Amino acid sequence: MDQKKYDVFISYSRKDYVDENANVIPGNIVSKVKDSFKAAGISYWFDEEGIYSGDAWAKKILNSIKASRIFVFIASENANKSPFTRKEIASADEFHIPILPFRLDNTPYDDDVLFRIVDLQYIAYYKNPDTGLEDLVEAVKSKLEQIKEEEEVQRKKKEEEHKRRQVEEEIRKRKEQQQKDIEAIRLACSKLNNEETKTEVDRSNLLLEVKDKVKDLAEQEKLMNVIISSSPIRKKSEQQIQQLKYKIESLENGLKSLQQEKESLDVEIKKNKELLTEKDQLVTNMEQKYHSEVERLENQIAQQQSELTKTKEQLSITEQKQTKSGMNGNRGFRWWIHLIYVILLVSLFCAWFLSNSKIKELRQQLYTEEKTINTVEAPVKTDTTITPTTPRQASEMEINSKNLKKYLYTGPLNAEGKPEGKGRALFPNKDTFEGTFVNGMLVEGRYTFAKDGTYFLGAFNEKEEPDIAHGAYYNKNGKKIE
């Protein structure tokens, strides 16, 4: 969404602003509208020059309408006939800019204008000149709050979508890299030294020859054990294959963890979208309720004004009759009539005051509801890193590691919140490590595989992988695996 530069674009007729000599008309309503907006801190764009020709002017007008949040049309007899205001209103409608008519008189709209704004709420200045400007400012402020909140919602949606795409791209890259690693490992498994392969084939043929030629079973078993035990290549291959299997299993677990992380993120995004949909629906319902209540109160005020007018007419007729009759004792009657007239005026004022209070109460209720809904919206959860300012002791704390991903850690932390010293780690696949950490990385200790109980005892390289040159694998019974 483009950044808006102005709160309001003011569309008006020059004939309502300046006279034939291009001098500003004293006390004109257009100037009062500008002054009211300025006093309320509402920024606006206003064509001071009144030049209506040339491509440069048209481009300037269009760009100013696009850069505004609300289009205020000062409707009058002159403005309703102006071809330029028609073009401005058509442009605002095309750009989906909310239009707010401010009617100076009851002159009918031009047909082209009427088609675009016939269903819109408007401020009738000619009905209430005392409060018309205040009502306009209040209406603009209310609409601005709604528009700015919608802009904020759209901004958050874009940020969440950007974060989601970043996470998906990161997951895709990780998957590609891990798949490459797996393929490389499998290729390494399939490639054996030709000489070693030939020796192994000869050994297998010798075993078959022993089975065929040596009939004594005891002697046959003894010879076969000698042949098998004399194969260092077989031992080396078995150890390498076992290590490669562990690495493949670790990579596959990493892929599963990434997939689970993506699924969790998708669920969170779906939840946020549902919350935003509920918010939009609730705001729409509150707006409908607000406009319905305002219309009801306005109708009630109009009805009371009509009744007051009828009462005034009846009072005038009664006074005329009393005057014609020439009655001398009518002073007391007139006093009662005036009292009734005063009571009606007070009632009308109270009704007007209560209606305005009700409107303000509804506006405040709408604003409160929207704010309450906004607090329900939650951003997509992302990994957090613990960064305390001083060293402290951790107890079953979830840690994010650059290489090992998330795991539960028990032990001391350094000043940056990373594992430091003797500690214990529990990984999502139930593997455990007990030993020394330096700046959050495994350095030396015992890593136990939960699947079969085997473990590695020794040092770890910079990628936090077992360093075979400075350690060894053992089975669950503590026997070293050669």
Structural element, H or E, at residue 380: none
Amino acid 201: pLDDT? 78
Q: What's the pLDDT score for residue 182?
A: 64
pLDDT digits (tens, 9 = 90+) for 179-220: 776 677 567 655 555 566 677 778 788 888 887 888 888 888
| 171/258 Cα distance (integer angstroms) | 6
**Euclidean distance between the first and final Cα of the chain, in Å?**
64
The residue written with tokens 């990984």 in the block is: 427
pLDDT at 250: 81
Residues 6+ apart with CB under 8 A from 185: 244, 247, 248
Q: How would you label 232-263 residue by residue, b for 16+ Cβ within 10 Å and e otherwise? A: ebeeeeeeeeebeebeeebbeebeebbeebbe
State which amino acid sits at residue 170: E
Helices (H), 191-231: 194-213, 217-229
pLDDT 10s digits, 63-95: 999 999 999 999 999 998 888 898 999 999 999
> According to the model, what pLDDT value does residue 133 have?
93
Name the token pair of 162.
């950007």
Rounded Cα gap, residues 16 and 84, in angstroms: 14
The neighbour count for residue 480, using CB atoms within 10 Å, is: 9
Give pLDDT, residue 375: 44
Exposure on the CB side of residue 230, measured as CA atoms within 13 A:
12
User: Where in the chain are the domains?
Assistant: 6-127, 158-270, 277-376, 392-481
Q: What's the confidence (pLDDT) of residue 104?
A: 93
pLDDT for residue 66 = 93
Q: Are 399 and 440 in contact (CB under 8 A)?
A: yes
Class of the CATH domain delimited by 392-481: mainly beta
What count of other Cβ atoms lies within 10 Å of the Cβ of residue 375?
Answer: 7
Q: Which pTM does this prediction carry?
A: 0.39
Cα 399 from chain centroid (whole Å): 27
448: region left, alpha or beta (phi > 0 left; psi from -120 to 50 alpha):
beta
Q: Which fold would CATH assign to domain 6-127? A: Rossmann fold (3.40.50)
The total of other beta-carbon atoms located within 10 Å of residue 474's CB is: 17
Pseudo-torsion of CA 57, 63, 65, 69, nearest 10°?
A: -160
Block mean pLDDT (10 aa), the chain, length 482: 82 92 92 95 86 72 93 93 90 92 89 74 89 93 92 90 91 84 64 63 82 83 82 66 79 83 83 79 76 77 78 73 55 68 79 69 64 45 38 67 83 90 92 94 94 94 91 93 86
Q: Can you tell me the distance from the alpha carbon of 221 to that of 210, in angstroms, rounded to the nearest whole number?
A: 9
Q: Using an 8 Å Cβ cutoff, are 110 and 81 in contact?
A: yes
d(CA 399, CA 89): 58
Alpha carbon separation from 245 to 185, 238, 250, 313 (Å, rounded): 9, 10, 8, 102
Provide CB contacts within 8 A for 393, sequence distance 6+.
411, 412, 413
pLDDT at 330: 52
Instruction: Output the CA torsion sign for 49, 51, 52, 57.
Output: negative
Task: Identify the pLDDT of residue 414.
Answer: 92
- Written as six digits, the tokens of 138 are 């209040």
Would 6-127 and 392-481 be classified into the same CATH topology?
Answer: no
Residue type, position 285, single letter: N
Cα–Cα distance, 470 to 444 (Å, whole number): 9
